[in-house]
Each structure stands twice: as structure tokens, then as C-alpha cells.
Amino acid sequence: MNDTSLLKNARSRKLLFSAGFSWLFDAMDVGIISFIVTALTLEWKLTPQEVGILTGMNSVGMVFGAAAAGYLADRFGRKKVLLWTLLIFSVASGLSALASSFWVLCLLRFITGIGLGGELPVASTLVSESMPASQRGRAVVLLESFWAGGWLAAALISYFLIPTYGWQIAFVIGAVPALYALYLRRAIDDSPVYKSNQSKVASVSFTEKLGSIWTSRHRRTTLMLWILWFTVVFSYYGMFLWLPSVMTMKGFSLIKSFEYVLIMTLAQLPGYFTAAYFIEKFGRKFVMITYLVLTAASAAWFGTADSAGMLIAAGICLSFFNLGAWGGLYAYTPELYPTSVRSTGVGLATSVGRIGGVIAPFLVGYMVQHEIQISTIFIMFFVIILIGAIGVLTLGTETKGKELTD
């Protein structure tokens, strides 16, 4: 299969789009909460720390969902676990529309997070294992590009529907993926790599898998991935879940804030597509380091921007480079482990990253409540992102063009 045949191959195209739409729904749910919480702040009179708690509950669930789903996908198959995680987060999202109190909504967002956190590493592993080496990185980055579509859908739903129909309508729409799971049940299958190694993969206990990723063979890789995932997820959830709220704090109305964030969200797609091109041309480490360094610079710029034009320009760059780095991250991670522990390794790295996603919204809420300047908060993100880039530079290995190991 040559470099131009990825989307021309019917089987690869079907898998990419089938898994991609599950990814889109996942992103839509994560994106919607950032807009809903802005509306709830006005309706329920939430404090900044309560905003941090509510936005962080998704990530608390994701910590458990990612770790559990990674192991379960090694034991029971990628397809089964993908379907179950999709059902969990869509049903919990729909029930969130009925929440009548802050803590009930927090509980439902925690359950939603379990499904969300589990779906992402399993889907990326499934696609990675199903593609030839020459197209694997590009395919996973394109899978990740559906995330931008989900955020765009969240922004459109929030901009056009929440002001008129209330925040509940957004959660009702979030229940749609439950129907999509019925289609996926027939549309996709487990990867050939997994099926050929299923008996060997399923027989290894979780304790043995955990020990395996910290043996001398994988220790350097695991350390690098845990640092990378923590810094990327910490910065993403700290910045993007607060983006609409930061815009209102800078003096823009709710409607205008949603409009500006929608514009910034559009920049995610070219970020993914350029990363998809560069990841097969120049390699995984090039994409990760370059896009992370430019994300850090964009964060510092956004924090100090003081006009609408500068904020939009900085926000566009932040979306472009940060989401391009995310694409590279999901492509890179499954390539670093053998089949026997691949999904477990990816799930645990993702789980460690989700811890960063828990801490960041709480921390930003605390800093805002204590009147720490927005510029200082974004300088913190600048430093954190650079730590991730340095981790890849010093500990990472290049996997471009290499076959997955069994």
C-alpha cells in the first residue's frame, strides 16, 4: 500500500471513518461541557472552584476508564471494549440532562468520563494495529482529526442551541452515540494483529502486564510516555476547558465568547492534517517536539494578549499546534509496545495523562478564585508543555516505518 492509497483502500477507509465517528462523539461530549459550564456558572451561580470540580470530574472518570479499558481490550478484544465504552459515555451523557443539582451532575460526568477515557486508547490501538507500517502514523492522526469535528459540533450546538433551549439540550444530543454503537457492532472487527495473538495476549494477567512495561526493555519508553501524556493532557484540559470562561473573564459576552472559541476550534483541522503529512515524512519525534514547542509559545502569547484580534490569533495558533501534537501522541504511543501489552501500555499512559486532566481544571479554578493573573496561568502551561517536549527529545525513540512487534 503506497502513500496515497490510505483513503482509496475500502477496508482501511471504512475502519478509519467508523472509529473516527466514535472519536467525534467523544470529543463532542468533552467539548460541550466547557460550554455548558459557562452557562451553568450564570444559572447556578457556580464559583470558580466548583467550575474546576465539574470540568475535572470527566477526567477523574477517564483515569479509571483508560486504565481499565486498556487491560480489558487486551483480554477481551478491541471491538467489544470499544462498543461498551461508547455505550457507557453516551447513556451517562443523556442522563446528565436530567441532573437537578451540582453533585448529581458531577456523578454523571464521572461515569461519562469512564466511558470517554476507555474509548480513546482502544480506538487508537485498533486503528494502529489494522494499518500497514507506511500508513499507520498518518491513519491514527487522521483518526484523531475527528476530535476537531467533535469540538466543532460542540461549539455549533452551544452557539445555536444552548442560549435558546438551555444547557440540557446539549446533553440530550450527547446520547446519540448509543445508537451509533449498534452500527459499529457490524461495521468493524478486531485487528488481524490482535486476533493472531489473542490467546497469548489474553492469558497474561494485569500484574504481569504492569511489570512488563517497567522492565529494562520498556522502562525508558514508559517513563517518556507518562511524562508526555501528563504534560499534554494537563495543558489541554487546563486551557481548553477554561477557554470560553477565560474569554468572558477578559470582558466578552457569553455569545461572543462562544463565537470566538468556535473560530479557534476551526484551526484544529489544519493542525491535524499538517501533522498527518509530517509524521510520515519527517517522523514521530519531529512532529511531537515541533508542535509542542509551538504550542508552548502560543500559550504564552494567548495569556498576554489584550485585544480581540490578538486573542483570536493566539487561540488559533494554540488550537492548531496543540491538536496537531495530540494527533502525533496517539499515533506514536501504540507503536512503542509489543502486542501482548500494547493496549494495556497505551491505556496506562493515557490514564496517567488523565491525572493531569484532573489536576489542571481544579488548579486553574483555584488560581482564578485567588485572583492570579491569566498571563501567569498561561506561563505555567508554557513551562509544562516544554517539559513534555524535552522528554520526547531525550527519551523518545523514532518508530517511523517500523512494523509493530508481537
Residue 331 predicted with pLDDT over 50:
yes
Residue 400 predicted with pLDDT over 90:
no
pLDDT tens digit string along 44-72?
988 877 887 887 788 889 899 988 998 89
344 or 259: which leads in pLDDT? 344
Residue 392 predicted with pLDDT over 90:
yes
**pLDDT at res. 4:** 45
Q: Which residues contact 119 (CB under 8 A, 6 or more apart)?
A: 22, 23, 26, 65, 69, 82, 85, 86, 89
pLDDT tens digit string along 145-195?
888 888 888 878 887 888 888 889 989 998 888 888 878 888 888 888 888
Mean pLDDT of 249-260: 69
What topology is assigned to 10-190+203-395 in CATH?
Answer: Growth Hormone; Chain: A; (1.20.1250)
Question: C-alpha grid cell for residue 129?
Answer: 494495529
Residue 114 predicted with pLDDT over 90:
yes
d(CA 109, CA 178): 16
| Dihedral angle of Cα 191, 272, 186, 153, to the nearest 10 degrees | 160
Degrees, nearest 5: CA angle 37-40-44:
140
* Nearest residue to 141 via CA among 237, 16, 29: 16
Kindly report the backbone phi and psi dihedral angles of residue 188, in degrees, each rounded to the nearest multiple of 5, phi listed first: -125, 165
Mean pLDDT of 249-277: 79
Mean pLDDT of 129-135: 85
Residues 139-153: b if buried by 16+ CB within 10 A, e if exposed:
bbbbbbbbbbbbbbb
d(CA 250, CA 374): 9
d(CA 171, CA 183): 21
Amino acid at the residue 364: V
Mean pLDDT of 335-346: 87
d(CA 133, CA 405): 11
CB atoms within 10 A of CB 102: 13
Its sign, for the CA torsion 268, 273, 276, 282, is negative
Q: Which residues contact 27 (CB under 8 A, 6 or more apart)?
A: 146, 147, 148, 149, 150, 151, 154
pLDDT tens digit string along 18-45?
888 888 988 888 888 878 887 888 889 8
pTM: 0.81
**What residue spans define the domains of the chain?**
10-190+203-395
Q: How many residues are present in the chain?
A: 406
Mean pLDDT of 82-98: 92
Mean pLDDT of 278-300: 95
**pLDDT at res. 364:** 85
**What pLDDT band is residue 200 in, cutting at 50, 70 and 90?**
low
pLDDT tens digit string along 6-22?
555 777 888 888 888 88
DSSP calls for 159-215: HHTHHHH-THHHHHHTTTHHHHHHHHHHH----HHHHHTHHHHHTS-HHHHHHHTTS
